[in-house]
Amino acid sequence: MTPDQVVATGSQIVLANTYHLALQPGSDVVKRLGGLHSFMNMPLPMLTDSGGFQVFSLPKTVNENGVTFKWEKSGTPFTMTPESSVAIQEELGADIIMAFDECVPYPCDRSYAEQALERTHRWERRCLEARTRDDQWLFGIVQGSAFEDLRQQSARELVSMDFPGYAIGGLSVGEGLEVMDRVLGWTAHLLPKHKPRYLMGVGLPEDLWCGVEHGIDMFDCVIPTRHARGGLLYTFQGRLRVTKARYRRDRLPLDTTCPCYTCQNFSRAYLNHLFAAEEVTGTTLACIHNITFLMRLMDMIRTSIREDRFVEAKADFFARYGTSYGPNKRNAVGLGHEEVTGARPGGGARPGGHRSNQNAKRPAGKRTGNKKSGSANKGGGRSGRGGRGGGRR
Amino acid sequence: MTPDQVVATGSQIVLANTYHLALQPGSDVVKRLGGLHSFMNMPLPMLTDSGGFQVFSLPKTVNENGVTFKWEKSGTPFTMTPESSVAIQEELGADIIMAFDECVPYPCDRSYAEQALERTHRWERRCLEARTRDDQWLFGIVQGSAFEDLRQQSARELVSMDFPGYAIGGLSVGEGLEVMDRVLGWTAHLLPKHKPRYLMGVGLPEDLWCGVEHGIDMFDCVIPTRHARGGLLYTFQGRLRVTKARYRRDRLPLDTTCPCYTCQNFSRAYLNHLFAAEEVTGTTLACIHNITFLMRLMDMIRTSIREDRFVEAKADFFARYGTSYGPNKRNAVGLGHEEVTGARPGGGARPGGHRSNQNAKRPAGKRTGNKKSGSANKGGGRSGRGGRGGGRR
């Protein structure tokens, strides 16, 4: 997607990745070219992740100083420290930069989670002290794995450090939706209402409702564009796998209500053809649509809050979209039906639609039949673990 | 590239391919969806090649009726005849459709060339008779390999059939620039001045001058976008291989005089980064630029004709761009220098720039060191032979 295509989706901020950019082209190059906005010609606000999430999926050694690993291409050893992460992010020049944290896998035993959390807090304090630019916001990242007291301790500790914004990290690493819901319940309300709250690496359309319900303001995730590249498109009537034979002659747009360039100009049949012919344009058009969908969904959620009908709007969304949680019991085991047909553009959830999700990164949790989730992971994040800014596109 | 990106390049017509579209999604599907313009949402005039060029690169049997081959994916045998080619092209619904011809390889012995040419003329007559739509122009295709009398016989025969436009086929199949120049010299002037003359599968920037000099009005070629996808960009100062390390920190656009989206918004350094990171956006931006360049070049050529200074304009172009022919002797053995630097945006041909072309499809002819030409072929046309509408993008 070109920057003008990204802007046209209605996106409000764009994430770039410290690890990837430090590797290629190098933060010095980005700085020389005027910083990320200028380098990418990106008029939207930008945020850089600290590299913590990516680095932790590489072979590495961790000590109090930082994390030592080898750069992917050259094999050159490098120690990423809170100070170097901040220095790189200052060179990159995003509007929001993230503290360097230690991500732990899920599940994680308590003693390691505790030790990593304390180190993360010391590292985050060092990030605050390492800053030399006052035109960037440094966000703190709450960790603590799936332990209630650790999460709460982390939130309180970081609030005392007075960051201009807070992220909740360590999720979307295989913990499942229920754990995520619980962690958000323990944590989010402890973060100041007047500062942005950012849920890292999340999420899918259904996750946005859950996040906002807990008070989250910002999200990032590679999965919606990964889905798009695989031909899995989001509509308010559920997911639509446009590569299916049933769409080969379908004149309708992906979503008859969608204002995006893709829906305004192309049929499902044309997208089906582009995917079958392996035309890159198909993936571009699909990404434009999925991102636009998420922005429209966030608009819908914001409007429902302003009009004091969030609960009804959420129920209404899930009744049509279907997901593993929400009121539509028929979809209780799946992550949404992929059974939208041209014949039923305004239709409700489809009775036959509660199969398990075929291509999502989302972890198994209680669900079964999720074998493909694992393999779908491989295409994206550095480790294939999660959605936190790991993808290239 | 999306249709709006294609339109923005200034292109006047878009080619689609009968063989590829008959295979996927099927001309019946395209017809059902309202024809190619509607299916692709393409506002520009369109042209379909007859499939002749693609079919002849497959294992096949040829007889008077047509060509029997197996479809690529399914292995289903199919006989493409002049009648079926026209029927498919009528379903596809382009503005200009092409006669079904027998393409012969180069070199080709005279008796086979003669036999194939006579059959081609009979087939082209059958195409004229097979038409049922009067809102499409059917162009005849001149063949005759590299034999002067056969080419002239072909041109005269087709002119007598009174097609609304004429193509010159059987070039860009490995015959080399000199042969092409000779064939055009024998043929083009025999075609009516008041009807479009179309040189199929050609060309590179340097080929356009040669073609126009012989009176050609229309061109198509997959190579400029194939070059773009490989990071080889055209500028009026010569070719620029943007993947080279020297562009890693180069703030300049590809071409400081170019109005395209790519040059207006991105540096060589950013493109270098996109290619290094294997970002698909890099190939999109590169294709936008190369196509825009060709349209600007055609504009320049048209203006020079109107102002009666074609010869001077051509000499001026080659002095800066460099190529294997034209007045710049320093580039006599290469197909253009790839040595543009940021330091010399307005500079002339570079003395060190006459190395052989590394990535072009262009045949060897007298040139040496062209080993890579063959492999570059593989990515595009069905057979890897040539540029005539064979590419997918």
Tell me the two tokens of residue B118: 């006579």
Residue B388: predicted pLDDT = 57
Token pair for A372: 């493909």
Interface mutation vs chain A, best among B23, B263, B284, B288, most A CBs within 10 Å: B284
Question: Which DSSP state fits B19?
Answer: H
Residue range B282-315, pLDDT digits in tens: 999 999 999 999 999 999 999 999 999 999 999 9
Q: How far apart are the first and last CA of chain B?
A: 8
Considering only residues A38 and B375, tell me which one the structure prediction assigns the higher pLDDT.
A38
For chain A, percent of residues with pLDDT exceeding 90: 78
Could you tell me the residue ranges of all domains in chain B? Answer: 3-201, 222-361
- How far is residue B81's CA from residue A388's CA, in Å, rounded to a whole number? 55
Mind telling me the catalytic residues of B? 49, 220
- Two structure tokens written together for B357: 């072309």
Pairing of strands A197-199, A218-219: parallel
| pLDDT at residue number B179 | 92
pLDDT surpasses 80 at A342: no
pLDDT value of position B175? 86
Does the pLDDT value for residue A326 go beyond 70? no
Reported confidence tier of residue B57, pLDDT bands at 50, 70, 90: confident
Neighbours of B112 (CB within 10 A): 13
- Examine domains B3-201 and B222-361 and report if their fold is the same: yes
* pTM, rounded to two decimals: 0.85
Taking contacts as CB-CB distances below 8 angstroms, the residues of chain B near A272 are: 25
Whether residues A251 and B33 touch (CB distance < 8 A) is answered with yes
So what's the pLDDT on residue B176?
A: 84
Where does the pLDDT of residue A72 fall: very low under 50, low under 70, confident under 90, or very high at 90 and above? confident
The answer to whether B245 contacts chain A (CB < 8 Å) is no
What pLDDT score was predicted for residue A388? 57
Q: Does A308 score more than 60 pLDDT?
A: yes
* Cβ distance of B29 and A269 shorter than 8 Å: yes
**Residue from B31, B274, B281 whose CB has the most chain A CBs within 10 Å, to mutate:** B281
With a CB cutoff of 8 Å and minimum separation 6, the contacts of B149 are: none
The mean pLDDT of A7-19, rounded to a whole number, is 97
In this complex, do A265 and B3 lie within 8 Å of one another by their Cβ atoms? Answer: yes
Higher pLDDT, B229 or A382: B229
Question: Which of the following is catalytic: A28, A95, A149, A220?
Answer: A220
pLDDT of residue A57: 87
Does position B49 have pLDDT exceeding 50, yes or no? yes
Could A393 and B4 be called an inter-chain contact, meaning their C-beta atoms sit closer than 8 Å?
A: no
Residues 6+ apart with CB under 8 A from A236: A255, A257, A317, A320, A321
The pLDDT of B165-191, averaged and rounded, is 93
CA distance B287 to B138: 29
pLDDT of A5 above 90: yes
A33 touches B at CB < 8 Å: yes
Handedness of CA B118, B119, B120, B122 (dihedral sign): positive
Whether residue A41 and residue B281 make contact (CB cut-off 8 A), yes or no, is no
pLDDT score, position B389: 53
Pick the CATH number of B3-201 from 3.20.20.105, 3.40.1080.10, 3.30.390.50, 3.40.190.10: 3.20.20.105
ipTM of the complex: 0.85
B222-361: which CATH architecture? Alpha-Beta Barrel (3.20)
Closest residue in chain A to residue B286, using alpha carbons only: A2
User: Would you call A95 a catalytic residue per the annotation?
Assistant: no
- Whether B326 has a pLDDT exceeding 50, the answer reads no
Q: How far apart are CA A170 and CA A198, in angstroms?
A: 12
Q: Would you call A185 an interface residue with chain B, using a CB distance cutoff of 8 Å?
A: no
Q: What's the whole-number mean pLDDT along residues A358-387?
A: 32
What is the predicted pLDDT for the residue at A380? 31
Select from B38, B91, B249 the residue whose CB has the most chain A CBs within 10 Å, as the one to mutate to test that interface: B249
Find chain B residues with C-beta within 8 A of A266's C-beta: 41
Structure tokens at A93: 């020049």
